[in-house]
Structure 1
Amino acid sequence: QIPVMTTMEGKSSISERNHPLALGSGSGVMSDPVVHFMKKSDVVIALGTSLTKHPMVTTIPPGKIIIHNTNDPKDLYKSYDIDYPVLGDTKLVLEQLIESCRDYLSGKIIRNDVPEEIFEVRKQYLENWSKHLDSKDKPISPYRVISEFMKCIDPKDTIVTHDAGSPRYQIMPFYQSDTPRSYLGWGKSHQLGTGLGFAIGAKLASPDKFCVNFMGDAAFGMTGLDFETAVRTKLPITTIVLKNSTMAIETNHMKISHEKFKARDLDGDYADIARSLGGWSEVIDDPEDIASSLLRAKEKNQEGISVLLQFNTSKDQNFANMRPFG
């Protein structure tokens, strides 16, 4: 039994809610189960990934035996010394690996305690973060928004995407996707606002799904007026703006410019803008109103109306396990 983590782009390829071997996703941030088993493992099997080192990719700790499958020979040995390169289509390679293991092991399960270990590590992880996920603070914790979303929205009927910056770091380690392609993970190129277009595209491809993009102030500033495209083309999506009135993720990178010019400050009533573009919107200040607003948004989408929910949130810069392996 082998624990499974996904890359950012691979999130939702395995159910994070129901599969007992799922650890969650790894990117620039990651869940405790990912960190735990990346440290503990002696072998890493990388399937269908380039393993290119990048701030948005989990670094493999030193000392691991690496089996690397890719369909592009340029990926091999690019970022790591690979012990066992396997060039080919991932589905075919995986089927062959499983067949080989079945023959080699003769049906024996060497370890059967892995699911329980994953469960216990995840349980402690969520308990440690409960002060954020269940926060009653005002302004609202962005983690409370994500937590309420998972409680009241069925992931099987939903396609979710994040945006660059804080929303990506806040959602990736905690949102538990369920079915394939129910989460659109992206971000190595960092264009703020991309998630809005992805949500519209997802609705075009899957009109029966509840298509939701999470974004921050800066992302809305880049592409927010494209909300009108969803209205005009009758592709009803829900845009969730985690409004903290700042580029919080750039706090340590823009100290001088912010001190001189307030370069990180952002403000505006995005809900008013959405209404003026023909959509339906709400402003939420109380964490107790999160769930009901999400359910109303889903109902409006089912009526063919695009929705923007503006959650007035804190400038929370607590992130789960940011680049623990460099």
Structure 2
Amino acid sequence: MANIEGHGGDLLLAALRPYGVTELFTLSGGHVFPVYDAAHRGGVRILDVRHEQSAVFAAEAVAKLQRRPSLAVLTAGPGVTNGISAITSAHFNGSPVVVVGGRAPQVRWGSGSLQELDHVPLVAPVTRHASTVTATADIPADVQRAVTAALTPHRGPVFLDLPLDVVFNGGAVDLAESPSVAAVEPDPEELSRAAALLAGAVRPVIIAGSDVYAGDAVAALREAAEALQVPVFTNGMGRGALPPEHPLAFSRARRAALSGADVVCVIGTPLDFRLGFGHFGEAQVIHVVDAPAQRATHVEVAASPAGDLRLALCAFAEKGARHDDWIAQLRQVEDAARAKDADLLSADTDPIKPSRVYGALRSVLDRDAVTIGDGGDFVSYAGRFLEPAVPGAWLDPGPYGCLGTGMGYAMGARVTYPDRQVCVLMGDGAAGFSLMDVESLVRQELPVVIVVGNNGIWGLEKHPMRAMYGYDVAADLQPGLRYDDVVSALGGAGETVAKSADLEPALQRAFAAGVPYLVNVLTDPEDMYPRSSNLA
């Protein structure tokens, strides 16, 4: 037990440091000045943004990539409310973000202080823990309580409100040792039933999602897949758990696999719209989750072990099986689909097809590049054609589907990986949500590459509305806008590309630039992503 002394900001950061927190993301506000003072004096890096949602998205990227708590500090009132969409994304993604809000002083509460608002009822539905700290001396214990909630599966964001008088006041406190979160063993009977079903299947399939990465279960997934010889598909941050060259890694044969499987084992991802709500024909479904609350209740499953995903996958790996004919059958489908992809990825059309953009990107991205999706149709193509080769190299908004993640995620990724390529894939609609935060990246010397698929429409809405009604409204943007000029004006650089042959050279210049660089690609507005999933 260590004694710590100082104002509320000192106590806050002292309690967070043992969890690995070395930076905070914020937009400046007077209610939280003591937190900045403690960070400035204590060597905690302060990264500031132009909109509070970017601060929370940046913190979420750090939490996702580094699998640890991260810190966003928001000033009172609109500072907190501006961050709520990003907090909600972290909630859906199970990201352990600690959000600290400033708050009007307790001694004047109810008198109409600047930005006086009770934030807790607003954020409570989308956090694991939300409370107001009422005494300076309580800050360390409240932080530990909140972080424990953030790290306990199923993980998620937490919120602490610091009233002005609480955070500015001083005190001396004994800081207790940070509590650890113990691994929870899945129920042995449920786990045994799941393992037997998977091992005894004739045509099994594994689908692995973000919690496999978040739960540090990537190695265990590989061991289980190899022991059972089961084809593996991934989504979210599960992508890259098996490199694309692995004989059990599949991506393009998913429809054939799920329609022909007799057992589908979904690990670490919900049975939501991305997976047809868990309806896989006649297949029996195993749903392996990290906490009982994550079990699907809208569909019948044959087994649903809940607990530490590493322990569950290690139990699966103790079984042995062969499915050579099934794997060979899916490999034929996979290879045929990839052969068709090759034509799309290399087609030189006028205007440029989004698939051609990804063909160019595949030729310039490093194996460990971090790719970030922020958009609709354009980013859907990224999910189809870009295949992370290492775990923890893919960030997308997740099931909440909130646009505007791009610049915040880019900031968090660059802080995490100073020497790796960071590439943001952005629709022109999504560019309107966060592009001003290029200034934050420039000012803090955080170079990233931004590729905008600029088709001048809200593609995810325009094409379906046309199909439903024969017309569309509120779905057009100004065509041909120079988003690269916006980035140049903010201190970065960029260029517009209108011809396919110019894509690779432009991308090479972007990655060599050493500043935020936007490649503004004019893409075909008539191209519609071939979406087959039911989003609702």
After superposition, residues 140-179 of structure 1 pair within 5 angstroms as 140-156=352-368, 158-179=369-390
Aligned match of 2:409? 198
RMSD: 2.5
CA contact (8 A) 1:38 1:61 kept: yes
After superposition, residues 264-303 of structure 1 pair within 5 angstroms as 264-267=476-479, 268-301=481-514
Q: Distance in 2 between matches of 1:253 and 1:183?
A: 27
How far off its partner does 1:318 sit? 3.7
Residues 284 and 325 from structure 1, CA distance in 2 versus in 1: closer, same or farther, beyond 3 angstroms? closer
- Per-residue CA distance 1:34-79 (angstroms, 9 max, x = gap): 111111110011112232x23x344432321112211221232413
Aligned match of 1:47? 267
Residue among 343, 348, 362 paired with 1:136:
348
Residues 66 and 115 from structure 1, CA distance in 2 versus in 1: closer, same or farther, beyond 3 angstroms? closer
CA contact (8 A) 1:7 1:57 kept: no
Q: Could you say what secondary structure the match of 1:283 adopts?
A: strand
Residues 263 and 48 from structure 1, CA distance in 2 versus in 1: closer, same or farther, beyond 3 angstroms? closer
Which amino acid in the other structure matches residue 66 of structure 1?
A: V
Aligned match of 1:28? none
Q: Could you say what secondary structure the match of 1:171 adopts?
A: helix
2:342 counterpart of 1:122: no
Aligned match of 2:323? 111
Q: Distance in 1 between matches of 2:531 and 2:330?
A: 17
Tell me the TM-score normalized by structure 1: 0.85
How far off its partner does 1:110 sit? 2.5
CA contact (8 A) 1:254 1:264 kept: no
How far off its partner does 1:213 sit? 0.6
Q: Could you say what secondary structure the match of 1:93 adopts?
A: helix
Aligned match of 2:522? 312
Q: Could you say what secondary structure the match of 2:238 adopts?
A: coil
CA contact (8 A) 1:164 1:187 kept: no
Q: Distance in 1 between matches of 2:249 and 2:342?
A: 21
Residue among 215, 237, 246 paired with 1:19:
246
- Per-residue CA distance 1:189-240 (angstroms, 9 max, x = gap): 2222212221221011111110011111111112111111111111101111
Q: Which segments of 5 or more consecutive residues in structure 2 lack a partner in the other structure?
A: 1-228
How far off its partner does 1:319 sit? 2.7
Aligned match of 2:233? 5
2:314 counterpart of 1:95: yes
Report which stretch shifted further, 234-243 or 263-272.
263-272
Residues 260 and 117 from structure 1, CA distance in 2 versus in 1: closer, same or farther, beyond 3 angstroms? closer
Aligned match of 2:397? 186
Higher relative contact order (CA 8 A, sep 6+): 1
Residue among 65, 78, 81 paired with 2:297:
78
Q: Distance in 2 between matches of 1:184 and 1:261?
A: 31
CA contact (8 A) 1:161 1:199 kept: yes
Aligned match of 1:36? 256
Residue among 429, 434, 438 paired with 1:227:
438
Q: Could you say what secondary structure the match of 2:419 adopts?
A: coil
Residues 260 and 324 from structure 1, CA distance in 2 versus in 1: closer, same or farther, beyond 3 angstroms? closer
Residues 114 and 231 from structure 1, CA distance in 2 versus in 1: closer, same or farther, beyond 3 angstroms? farther
How far off its partner does 1:116 sit? 4.0
CA contact (8 A) 1:149 1:291 kept: yes
Which amino acid in the other structure matches residue 79 of structure 1?
A: H
Tell me which structure has the larger Cα radius of gyration.
2
Q: Distance in 2 between matches of 1:160 and 1:41?
A: 31
CA contact (8 A) 1:9 1:186 kept: no
CA contact (8 A) 2:423 2:448 kept: yes
How far off its partner does 1:155 sit? 2.5
CA contact (8 A) 2:461 2:475 kept: no
Q: Distance in 2 between matches of 1:129 and 1:324?
A: 23
Q: Distance in 2 between matches of 1:188 and 1:151?
A: 29
How far off its partner does 1:273 sit? 0.7
Q: Could you say what secondary structure the match of 2:370 adopts?
A: strand
Which amino acid in the other structure matches residue 18 of structure 1?
A: E
Percent sequence identity is: 25
Q: Distance in 1 between matches of 2:415 and 2:469?
A: 41
Aligned match of 2:288? 69
CA contact (8 A) 1:218 1:266 kept: no
Q: Could you say what secondary structure the match of 1:87 adopts?
A: coil
CA contact (8 A) 2:375 2:429 kept: no
Q: Distance in 2 between matches of 1:117 and 1:324?
A: 27
Q: Distance in 1 between matches of 2:472 and 2:394?
A: 39
Q: Distance in 2 between matches of 1:324 and 1:251?
A: 17
How far off its partner does 1:310 sit? 0.6
Report which stretch shifted further, 160-169 or 172-181.
160-169
CA contact (8 A) 2:354 2:453 kept: yes
Q: Distance in 1 between matches of 2:282 and 2:339?
A: 31
Q: Could you say what secondary structure the match of 1:178 adopts?
A: coil
Aligned match of 1:216? 427
Q: Distance in 2 between matches of 1:213 and 1:146?
A: 12
CA contact (8 A) 1:11 1:185 kept: no
